[in-house]
Structure 1
Amino acid sequence: MRSYRLTVSAAAAALLSLAAAAPAVADGGDADRSFTIEDPRITESSGLAASRAHPGIYWTHNDSDDGPYVFAVDSRTGKTVARITMKGVGAPRDVEAISLGPDGNLYVGDIGDNLNGSWDHVWIYRFPEPKELRDQVVRATQFDVKYADGARNAEALMVHPKTGRVYIASKNEDGGGLYEGPAKLTTGGDNVFRRVGEVPWVTDGAFSPDGKELVLRSYFSARGYPFANGRLGKDYPVESPLLGQSESVTYTADGSALMYGSEGEQSDVVRVDLKSGGGDGPARAGGTSPSSAGAGSTAGGDGVPVKGTTLTGIAVLAGIGLLLFLGRRRRQG
């Protein structure tokens, strides 16, 4: 069974490569535009968080097996301007997400579980966003995390920008859950996260700066949710680019756009502008947006369409769907 799952995963990765054409990238030197991560050490960018202390800077990290590192990347150049080494934490296992809280701390989610719920706990690491952008070692606090309804895989961690409460969205092909953490994370014991909503297959998520919207993304699409009193409202489609392995999303610090990232060497981060006028939620699929480029492609904040067509997207989706269907038949047989 394990070898079959590995085969399915490999085939899925091959299908995803059909969509791996690099998007157009802004080269005008402005902050918060589409850019390419240039650092050869960043090969599996799996989370994004826009800095509030340093305009135009985005925090990211690699997926598993990289060590306790977080990188600050300048969106003007795509170059790394700082590598942070966390001390005071154990060996990271499967780091999947990063988010900035209203307390000025960065929260790093070591929450992945590729064995689908075999680990009885996962971790969150927290440290203050550095005032100076330089390579440095910082002391981080480690929090143990468990889910009230049992272990599960997750790739999305979001800190609410007003309450500071931490949320995790689990990842499951049949649909996951939104989990709410305690009002305050504590050390010396388990922080139990409780399911408060139902979500689709999620690879990352982000709250709007005012905390009134939550965007969750998957490999091929994104959904938005009004968010109030810790609960999700009715979902709606959100404009998103087609990337090779879509892993991350964050709002720009000013809330004017969404930034979508992907894994791989020299991976791209693509800006999608929100609706004009501000405060009325993300750019909905098929709606009016400064980055609209017609059906079959989306655009960066500079209005340049992203390479990738509706036909490519349909082919990839159909292939993944077939693989998942065959996987279910195999498990039932």
Structure 2
Amino acid sequence: MVLIRACAVAVTALAACAAPAAASDVSAVSPVPRDGEKLFTFKDPRITESSGLALSPTRDDVYYTHNDSAAQPEFYAVGPDGRTRATFRLRGAEARDWEAMAATRDPQTGRGVLWFADIGDNLDGAWPDVSIYKVAEPATLADATLPATRYRFRYEGGGRNAEGIMVNPVTGRLYVVSKEFSGSVYEAPKKLRTGRVNILRKVAAAPIMATDAAYAPDGSSYVIRTYFSATVYKPSGEVLTRVSMPDLEQAESIAYTRDGKALLTGSEGENSPVYKVPIPAAGAPSPTAEPPSPSAGRPEAEGTRAAADAPAASPRLTVRDVLIWLAAAAVAIGFITFLARRTR
């Protein structure tokens, strides 16, 4: 695990020096400074690998997080001071490698809905399928065991390692973002079923080694995080802007603030911090802009999807992309060899 993560950092650092391998060229977009505001640090000694992060969709100043692999199927509600206010466990759930979470609001009831993604797979296909759990946001902030609905997924085209999920708040569509040299955004079926495996289909490209993703509260954009930066996209997959991130020990999580004007980002590790980073004007919601029409989320005929609901299809590879990936692979191999010799 250490070798894999160290290798990923080396590869992503190389990629950050060049243009990100995303859905379109962002060379003309200027990133904002690496400042950001430190909101708090997690005080709970049990939170050692904060991998997912979400703002409560119904409560002010409540943040949810969960640990990475080798943990229990549980999550924490944390206040603005970084102290845990409640711990929740999912009944009947597993936690092979929880990597991400998302928070939405049920348009019918107004209640919050939390999603937890057991999608980590460092062997890119070791698991026959992966799981995502849907949980009603707890009504009270008190320790409890909660019922969860489990949805099983399989990737069209073979297994993938992934660390990001996001849910379009307008259409309700779920997406998974893979963590690879040539990452992708995968779309779940509009209607998820518990009685069978749901197929995830590739609909867009993602940056190299994406560690998390999130949809804006109004559905007007989504963001994908890597170890060093974040990229904001329109729902169509068009790049809006890039956002430089604070220096973190191991950047893992990303979420939007409730007004959609800033991003929250966190890291693994004990007493890890959570930062608030403003989004440049090019990627922030516009008061005059209309969110995607809910009609875009209506079920479509088999083999088709609504244009406003799904990110754009992946672009063709350029010579520059190929050269970046070849160089990244060379660095990765060399880095692993170096560490292996040092640790013999």
How far residue 256 of structure 1 moved from its aligned partner, in angstroms, is 2.8
How far residue 154 of structure 1 moved from its aligned partner, in angstroms, is 0.1
**Counterpart residue number, 1:105:** 113
Native 8 Å contact 2:100 2:117 kept in 1: yes
Native 8 Å contact 2:166 2:176 kept in 1: yes
**Counterpart residue number, 1:190:** 197
Count the aligned residue pairs: 271
Partner-residue secondary structure (3-state), 1:101: strand
CA RMSD of aligned residues (A): 3.0
2:93 is aligned with 1:86: no
How far residue 252 of structure 1 moved from its aligned partner, in angstroms, is 1.1
CA distance in 2: counterparts of 1:149 and 1:321, whole angstroms: 22
**Counterpart residue number, 1:162:** 170
**Counterpart residue number, 1:29:** none
**Counterpart residue number, 2:278:** 273
2:79 is aligned with 1:71: no
- From 175, 199, 206, give the equivalent of 2:206: 199
Percent identity reads: 42
Which structure has more relative contact order (CA 8 Å, sep 6+)? It is: 2
Native 8 Å contact 2:231 2:239 kept in 1: no
> Aligned pair in 2 of structure 1 residues 275, 220: CA closer, same or farther (>3 Å)?
closer
Q: Segments of 4+ in structure 1 off by > 3 A?
A: 5-16, 23-26, 275-278, 320-323, 327-330
Show the 5 A alignment for 1:1-333: 7=3, 9=5, 34-75=39-80, 77-89=81-93, 91-103=94-106, 104-172=112-180, 174-200=181-207, 201-227=209-235, 231-234=236-239, 236-275=241-280, 279-280=285-286, 323-324=331-332, 326=334
Native 8 Å contact 1:25 1:36 kept in 2: no
CA distance in 2: counterparts of 1:155 and 1:176, whole angstroms: 11
CA distance in 2: counterparts of 1:42 and 1:102, whole angstroms: 26
> Aligned pair in 2 of structure 1 residues 238, 10: CA closer, same or farther (>3 Å)?
closer
1:267 counterpart letter in structure 2: S
Gaps of 5+ in 2: 13-33, 107-111, 288-327, 339-344
2:195 counterpart letter in structure 1: G
The alignment's TM-score, normalised by the length of structure 1, stands at 0.74
Partner-residue secondary structure (3-state), 2:198: strand
CA distance in 2: counterparts of 1:168 and 1:12, whole angstroms: 19
How far residue 327 of structure 1 moved from its aligned partner, in angstroms, is 6.1
CA distance in 1: counterparts of 2:10 and 2:244, whole angstroms: 24
CA distance in 2: counterparts of 1:151 and 1:250, whole angstroms: 26
1:78 counterpart letter in structure 2: G
How far residue 120 of structure 1 moved from its aligned partner, in angstroms, is 1.6
1:254 counterpart letter in structure 2: D
